[in-house]
Structure 1
């Protein structure tokens, strides 16, 4: 004999009920089957709503009743399309009784616990009857037995206590003589020893199934629901969650207590005492293995079996110096809540005895505060303790596992993973058994926290990075294409799951929390929503994804001004935009401070040298204890390109235009040719060396003509290049006469910095610098005579994009 229980979703529609019948028919071929069913999905809530409306003299209860009636009659007509008059008649009779009960509640304006039990009993009584009659109509050996004739309780309504001696005898007597292959029992419902209708409370259908299974000492109890077992965490919030094959009773109850809805712990106590295994199965996927719950569950190599959470939590804090060393405060606190029938979900107390924190349901918070403040009114008046502090909009996240106590560092991994993603922990609770570690966090961070912890404890160390890119012009487009090309390689070889979640240009922006399809991103962006810088930030913030990275591929000051907002939300920044790091020194230091405070890395390798590891090398020198004495560098790929290609047979205007067309200059070439861009770069290197300096402190000797420096627009500037060609030819002629090459050089020495166009003689390391290459020479205490030299391509869309990509990958390897 087997006992199966089917929940509300499993019997929530005619289609699902047919699945249930198929399962029962298959099981009954080899053995007798007892099937406990819940009410049709959502009906219990509708019954309670109708009762509440009727109690409040709200005629809307009739609409709710009509909805209940329509649902049941539709199911009957779908399951038994012909010759169903007797079934319809019975259902209508029960519905008429329900209508009369609701009318009575409406008239007397009262809904007592006794009446409430009678009201909600209609759900299970109707569903069990319809299912049994459907099976009979199909020629199956099935009978419905009213559980109210078997399960006997006391007269405490809404959550009656079972009289096991009478109940067990009733069950054993009935099934000892039952001849049908399939018995349908309504779950949840019962009767008192005086014959009054009662219910078994929350999880009552599970309870009914457990009572029957224990009374008959069956080999196993199966609970059928809409998921394939107990999952490692909530699969609706964590896509990588997967079913747990085997789990112990204690682990299952811990997970269920903290939000795993497939099982309600108190209801399975009867089978737990007899060590009857429980199987959680999926009605919609009956062949799936599901989860086995037993005392002989195989001990997993993973110390954490599951991660669960409870929402709608309020945290109560009772604190004050008057509590220290004074016995009785906890007793009075707990008694007060007990008298108000308020359940405590989590308790934590500091060893100083200065405070006690309690987690309760948010709906009880107001009543709890009033009651506690009244209890401690005298102590509050004497300032021995503070009025109770209430914090709401919280959730509890719990790690569960029998084997956690045998593994060191579980708590450390938990707090480290949450801390890296700016998930603030408001309270902590851990029992001495170490089977459960619970933390209270903001409900806004639940999805991120579950994903972070699941990644930490259950996934094969694959780190998910969620990238938001602003600026998909020349460089940005190359970056997206590089990510698309390398996505598979990163996942397979570096265990980095890189997803582009948001993209924006100056006109449109698009988002997909599951990752954009990079094969069609251009088409998607063209049809995206109107772009705003603030709107892009708010969307990235509201997505609240773990390991979020904002990538700035612009030269826009307004974008740089938003960096503090991103960092405060623990969103890392990767930027080729030099404006932030070359802005006022106070702002630069504030960005560094925010990066550390909110554990959000701020990487800007491409600010200097595009894809060259200039800043990384400098950082490693400083971190290892070296000290920079001086820096000499050619830092502008665009200017190097210009002067390597400019001669007495070319025109300066043509070379500058070519540099712009090939992506070597900023959209406004004056930024490059005026030396401002190079000044920003040497400023960043000076600051990274530990020197306090601002842009105005850098000596800039411009080589542009006076009219070029004073030009108002880009078009005007290009016109000056044509008019002042002789000025630029004279610069070239002077260098040629001295057998030198023109290079735009940045220097930092003894706390001072300068940028200027210089004539570089033969034999100097800068002389043979080709194309758009950059070169940086670091003279340090460890490299006083022969400098550390970094040389290579320092401009161009591909190398800049690869530098940004490298910074993103670096975050994935942290």
Structure 2
């Protein structure tokens, strides 16, 4: 991509630069660790940034650790100091040389050499005086390099040293002077260029360099978002989101796609390995949303933090901290205890019982602080394990379940947090990985959230929705299923926070917005659920074309739509393969036989080792009704028009009489039985004469009497043999493995299983190695809104049962 094209991409589209909301993108050290990592970051910026967005960076890879190392060598007056500085310079020079053209690299290496000379002077003269200034080089080098690479490959860019605008009170509280910082921040911005800003470093009111603590670059990003009024902050890191527990310890941890602000803040306070306590503070009074995503897998939806509805508020997390101290003293009761809790940012406290829980490193400070009271104080090594979720303190069932889960653990205290978003158990022993896994399982085993999108709101779609409230209430596996989308060919109602199932259609009529497949896919691709199921109740071939895209995104499909399942062999095999590769479940029990269990029967026979040799029957409810009813007493056309008026046929009855629908159903069943064939392999007898096939529907209906002689003759021939006429589908595999398949009008003896059905019924006959002499027969209503909607609900239950045991692979590239 040329620079001019990149600039155009970064500033074009629906968003003109002046109107485009600001987004802050922060990249952590692991995201910038190597040449390949930085090139990946450049691609992310190219695809996601506009020119007035802001990029915040940490030091590359282990640079901060390396700076700490050389500092400690300086303090120790080690002979290895100069060699360590030289190694540091070489690693930075290598990154520059690999990423930039020679002239740009030479300029940046000259600046680096100046920095190394300054660093060497500080470390050999007065290292302790320049500790923070020395650490600042890591972020400076990172920002300069990324800015230079962007200017060369993507768009005009410049680096900003955050110390030029960001002012805090001190490096303990790190409270921002918003008025002074905001004014200086605006002065440092340049129009028409992409800013790359150092994270982690700042200055105090005296102009001295300060740092925001380990992982302070996240805090820098949210501070800058607050100063700029940014709409979104994305923390690009080495994991693809926030999990319900530390995924390094709990393999069954599940991604939390959406977290309310208060819950995220509490998670950061209690030791979440990705979120940190101060990160959310600057966004408290802003509508900014925070995202956590992986720079290693940028296409994967991460975690969003903001204001959400009830579904997101149901999420639970488990977190733990070791190396803590339980501090008990009579002085820690009442208001003084509350003051101590605030002063030391206690993990938890109880001012009635007179204790606080702190980090072990704070013991000396707490001892000094309490010394003036001249009271006895005890320090007991402890750990904590906590349940974190929206307002969990006020949910008695959560409290009770947590205490039951801890019944075999020695618990000193159970404390409700002041935020009301966590319940904290103080343990006498360390919190082990085994305990964390057990508590996580007990507290989150039923927590998986499944979103359901219903496409097609005709008779069957509306009946499916009418049945949904009762199904959700009485079937336990559907406990965490949420209706989140209602879609038709032109409009859609998509609500991440859920659609009230009791008012689904009225809400659709009131709130649905115009929507095409592109907009629909955009929403589905970024859904915030553990699983998403699309229920396709449309007859649309156009909509079925989206199945492959659904499967690529890991979305599951329940389809009453026959187009995909009866597509060309190449297309069908592609869909099956894509679904398998992405662990998508594709069910379609209602494509054939409405709610009849023909699909289940075929699957069970195959799973048990049987081999099917024949599938035959009457697969069309319309043709079943017509030929069970037709006895010659009235012309066939009169019967056909009567069926049309009752809604038994399609609006154009030729859709039924052509046999194409039956042909597709036979193909679907044959494929389900494990055979590879296409529509062209199935002979199809069209019951509409050629003279009527090309007419409009109105013209056909006007000339429908032209059908009468043919059907009267067929009936007469059959009656003479004491037989009847039926429209049959038949698939057979002979002893040599040769396949034959056809759909046709047949004369059947009146004692044939297919000869005497309730009008409208379907019947399916299966022969197999086990059912050869006495075939398996399934018979019942093959159409109707209730049975078809019921079949869809059966598929929904089946798919949720399968998903209940599904394990997601946690993507960890290098969680620090």
Q: Provide TM-score, normalisation by structure 1.
A: 0.51
Question: Which of 381, 387, 390 is 1:232 aligned to?
Answer: 387
Q: Is the 1:740–1:759 Cα contact (8 Å) retained in structure 2?
A: yes
Q: Is the 1:628–1:778 Cα contact (8 Å) retained in structure 2?
A: yes
Deviation at 1:742, TM superposition (A): 2.1
Provide the rounded CA distance (Å) in 1 between the counterparts of 2:531 and 2:179.
Answer: 46
Matched, 1:644 2:620: no
Q: Is the 1:777–1:790 Cα contact (8 Å) retained in structure 2?
A: yes
Matched, 1:487 2:472: yes
* Secondary structure, aligned partner of 1:747: strand
CA 1:699–1:572 in structure 2 vs 1: closer, same or farther (change >3 Å)?
same
Question: Which of 788, 792, 795 is 1:807 aligned to?
Answer: 795
Equivalent runs, 1:340-351 vs 2, <5 Å: none
- Partner of residue 567, structure 2: 583
Provide the rounded CA distance (Å) in 1 between the counterparts of 2:697 and 2:638.
Answer: 15
- Partner of residue 764, structure 2: 776
- Partner of residue 556, structure 2: 572
Question: Which of 423, 428, 435 is 1:295 aligned to?
Answer: 428
Deviation at 1:768, TM superposition (A): 0.5
Provide the rounded CA distance (Å) in 2 between the counterparts of 1:633 and 1:235.
Answer: 56
Question: Which of 749, 756, 769 is 2:744 aligned to?
Answer: 756
CA 1:662–1:572 in structure 2 vs 1: closer, same or farther (change >3 Å)?
farther
Deviation at 1:710, TM superposition (A): 2.3
Matched, 1:620 2:652: no
Deviation at 1:570, TM superposition (A): 1.4
Equivalent runs, 1:35-184 vs 2, <5 Å: 47-50=176-179, 52=181, 58=187, 110-113=207-210, 184=339
What is the CA RMSD across the aligned residues, in angstroms? 4.9
* Secondary structure, aligned partner of 1:520: helix
- Partner of residue 403, structure 1: 435
Q: Is the 2:411–2:425 Cα contact (8 Å) retained in structure 1?
A: no
Matched, 1:787 2:775: yes
CA 1:205–1:693 in structure 2 vs 1: closer, same or farther (change >3 Å)?
same
Provide the rounded CA distance (Å) in 1 between the counterparts of 2:743 and 2:528.
Answer: 43
Bigger radius of gyration among the two: 1
Deviation at 1:232, TM superposition (A): 2.8
Matched, 1:605 2:637: no
Deviation per residue, 1:619-664 (Å, 9 max, x gap): 2212222222222211111110122233434454454455455554
Provide the rounded CA distance (Å) in 2 between the counterparts of 1:246 and 1:761.
Answer: 71
- Partner of residue 547, structure 1: 531
* Secondary structure, aligned partner of 1:708: helix
Deviation at 1:236, TM superposition (A): 9.1
Deviation at 1:487, TM superposition (A): 1.9
Provide the rounded CA distance (Å) in 2 between the counterparts of 1:248 and 1:654.
Answer: 71
Equivalent runs, 1:431-450 vs 2, <5 Å: none
Q: Is the 1:555–1:578 Cα contact (8 Å) retained in structure 2?
A: yes
CA 1:656–1:499 in structure 2 vs 1: closer, same or farther (change >3 Å)?
farther
Q: Is the 2:391–2:422 Cα contact (8 Å) retained in structure 1?
A: no
* Secondary structure, aligned partner of 1:458: helix
Q: Is the 1:478–1:801 Cα contact (8 Å) retained in structure 2?
A: yes
Deviation per residue, 1:520-577 (Å, 9 max, x gap): 1111111211132332333223113123211110111111111111111111111111
Deviation per residue, 1:587-614 (Å, 9 max, x gap): 1112221222111111111111111111
* Secondary structure, aligned partner of 1:469: strand
Deviation at 1:793, TM superposition (A): 1.1
Deviation at 1:770, TM superposition (A): 1.7
Provide the rounded CA distance (Å) in 2 between the counterparts of 1:752 and 1:115.
Answer: 75
Q: Is the 1:776–1:789 Cα contact (8 Å) retained in structure 2?
A: yes
- Partner of residue 484, structure 2: 501
Provide the rounded CA distance (Å) in 1 between the counterparts of 2:525 and 2:361.
Answer: 41
CA 1:784–1:183 in structure 2 vs 1: closer, same or farther (change >3 Å)?
closer
Deviation at 1:291, TM superposition (A): 2.4
Instruction: Report the more deviating stretch, 592-601 or 733-742.
Output: 733-742
Question: Which of 533, 537, 553 is 2:517 aligned to?
Answer: 533
Provide the rounded CA distance (Å) in 1 between the counterparts of 2:765 and 2:392.
Answer: 51
Q: Is the 2:385–2:436 Cα contact (8 Å) retained in structure 1?
A: no
Deviation at 1:766, TM superposition (A): 0.8
Deviation per residue, 1:54-95 (Å, 9 max, x gap): 7769499xxxxxxxxxxxxxxxxxxxxxxxxxxxxxxxxxxx
Q: Is the 1:245–1:292 Cα contact (8 Å) retained in structure 2?
A: no
Q: Is the 2:450–2:482 Cα contact (8 Å) retained in structure 1?
A: yes
Question: Which of 701, 723, 743 is 2:685 aligned to?
Answer: 701
CA 1:462–1:791 in structure 2 vs 1: closer, same or farther (change >3 Å)?
farther
Provide the rounded CA distance (Å) in 1 between the counterparts of 2:186 and 2:449.
Answer: 54
Provide the rounded CA distance (Å) in 2 between the counterparts of 1:606 and 1:654.
Answer: 30
Provide the rounded CA distance (Å) in 2 between the counterparts of 1:714 and 1:720.
Answer: 10
Provide the rounded CA distance (Å) in 2 between the counterparts of 1:284 and 1:533.
Answer: 43
Provide the rounded CA distance (Å) in 2 between the counterparts of 1:484 and 1:757.
Answer: 43
Structure 2 spans left out of the alignment, 5+ residues: 1-167, 190-202, 214-218, 220-277, 279-327, 346-357, 734-738, 803-816
Provide the rounded CA distance (Å) in 1 between the counterparts of 2:501 and 2:800.
Answer: 20
- Partner of residue 58, structure 2: none
* Secondary structure, aligned partner of 2:535: strand
Instruction: Report the more deviating stretch, 555-564 or 48-57.
Output: 48-57
Question: Which of 503, 512, 517 is 2:500 aligned to?
Answer: 517
Q: Is the 2:386–2:422 Cα contact (8 Å) retained in structure 1?
A: no
Deviation at 1:760, TM superposition (A): 1.6
- Partner of residue 472, structure 1: 457
* Secondary structure, aligned partner of 2:669: helix
Q: Is the 1:560–1:579 Cα contact (8 Å) retained in structure 2?
A: yes
Q: Is the 1:582–1:684 Cα contact (8 Å) retained in structure 2?
A: yes
* Secondary structure, aligned partner of 2:521: helix
Deviation at 1:722, TM superposition (A): 4.3
Provide the rounded CA distance (Å) in 2 between the counterparts of 1:186 and 1:594.
Answer: 55
Q: Is the 1:230–1:280 Cα contact (8 Å) retained in structure 2?
A: no
Deviation per residue, 1:158-178 (Å, 9 max, x gap): 9xxxxxxxxxxxx99x989x9
CA 1:737–1:488 in structure 2 vs 1: closer, same or farther (change >3 Å)?
same
- Partner of residue 435, structure 1: none
Provide the rounded CA distance (Å) in 1 between the counterparts of 2:728 and 2:411.
Answer: 81
Provide the rounded CA distance (Å) in 1 between the counterparts of 2:368 and 2:782.
Answer: 75
CA 1:687–1:218 in structure 2 vs 1: closer, same or farther (change >3 Å)?
same
Structure 1 spans left out of the alignment, 5+ residues: 1-38, 61-100, 121-157, 159-170, 191-200, 222-228, 253-274, 298-304, 306-399, 411-453
Q: Is the 2:628–2:758 Cα contact (8 Å) retained in structure 1?
A: yes
CA 1:207–1:290 in structure 2 vs 1: closer, same or farther (change >3 Å)?
farther
Provide the rounded CA distance (Å) in 1 between the counterparts of 2:635 and 2:702.
Answer: 13
* Secondary structure, aligned partner of 2:790: helix
Deviation at 1:701, TM superposition (A): 1.5
- Partner of residue 746, structure 1: 729
Provide the rounded CA distance (Å) in 1 between the counterparts of 2:668 and 2:741.
Answer: 11
Q: Is the 1:220–1:279 Cα contact (8 Å) retained in structure 2?
A: no
Q: Is the 1:746–1:754 Cα contact (8 Å) retained in structure 2?
A: yes
CA 1:720–1:291 in structure 2 vs 1: closer, same or farther (change >3 Å)?
same
Provide the rounded CA distance (Å) in 2 between the counterparts of 1:726 and 1:485.
Answer: 51
Q: Is the 1:628–1:779 Cα contact (8 Å) retained in structure 2?
A: yes
Deviation per residue, 1:309-365 (Å, 9 max, x gap): xxxxxxxxxxxxxxxxxxxxxxxxxxxxxxxxxxxxxxxxxxxxxxxxxxxxxxxxx
Provide the rounded CA distance (Å) in 2 between the counterparts of 1:643 and 1:773.
Answer: 11
- Partner of residue 427, structure 1: none
CA 1:525–1:651 in structure 2 vs 1: closer, same or farther (change >3 Å)?
farther
Provide the rounded CA distance (Å) in 1 between the counterparts of 2:676 and 2:723.
Answer: 34
